[in-house]
Amino acid sequence: MHLLITNDDGIYAKGIRVLAKELSMIAKITLVAPDRERSATGHAITVHYPLRVEPVSVDGAADAYAVDGTPSDCVKLSLEALLPDKPTMVISGINRGPNLGTDILYSGTVSAAVEGIIHGVPSFAISLDCFDDGPYYDVAAAIAKKVVLKINEHGLPPGVLLNINVPTVPTEKLRGIKITTLGTRRYRNVFDKRVDPRGRTYYWLAGDVIDLDDDIDTDTMAVKDGFVSITPVHFDLTDYRVMEQLKNWDLTI
């Protein structure tokens, strides 16, 4: 088994290195990740300047490269130029901070996994519900290893990735694993208006998260309740039900 691992926190982040070391016990690891943090870049790709690739050393990885691009760049470049053969799987993470609900639309972590399935490679993203380098990355890495083995055994449908979020509790306190839907998230006080030393106004994107769902089957509620959340996600955004309605609009030119 050959696993391609990436992230959006950068190649020097704790999460990706813990993940590479854990998964090296069951597979050959190639690590290709941004050379610095590229969080919230969504599915951005680099088209206006060339990508630079530098080999680095990472425990557990047979090969590792730092790329001065986005997470999606890293996967696209790996699958179309760097790797001689298609990997068994693409794994993105372990992300510092959750990727829950509608936030996945902004996530570089999840977008890297989307790039994997665009290329026909089974993929998943895994995130940890904390923003520090605490002790829970080992828990998330162990869960990732279990998921890798299950995907290798059962496969995934074409065009479908798994989005996994792990609460920050010790393994013995996890309440289990839930298969979930995406919740809906909004933010309060999104922009903080400030003034710089020269008297110019600027805005800092911040805000307090508001989860709009109380359905126990959503990823947001599952993680809040101490469960690992696994959500199957696909990139076909077509609403087939509304397509049928639009056909009745008698649109003509």
> How does DSSP assign 14-38, residue by residue?
HHHHHHHHHHTTTSEEEEEEESS--
Q: What is the pLDDT of residues 166-195, one digit of tens each?
A: 999 888 889 999 999 999 887 766 788 899
Q: Which residues contact 141 (CB under 8 A, 6 or more apart)?
A: 18, 19, 21, 22, 23, 94
The domain segmentation of the chain, as residue ranges, is 2-184+215-249
Whether 211 shows a pLDDT value over 80: the answer reads no
What's the mean pLDDT when you consider all of the chain? 93
Chain centre to alpha carbon of residue 48: 24
DSSP one-letter code for 51: P
Tell whether omega for the bond before 94 is within 30 degrees of 0, i.e. cis: yes
Q: How far is CA 203 from CA 37, 41, 186, 206, 210, in A?
A: 21, 18, 18, 9, 20
In the numeric block, the tokens 């922009």 are attached to 191
Using DSSP bridges, classify how beta strands 185-188 and 208-211 pair: parallel, antiparallel or unpaired.
antiparallel
Q: What is the pLDDT of residues 82-128, one digit of tens each?
A: 999 999 999 999 999 999 999 999 999 999 999 999 999 999 999 99
Architecture of the structural domain at 2-184+215-249: 3-Layer(aba) Sandwich (3.40)
Beta bridge partners of 179: 230
Give the pLDDT band of residue 209 (cuts 50, 70, 90): confident
Q: Which residues of 174-183 are buried (b: 16+ CB within 10 A; e: fewer)?
A: eeebbebbbb
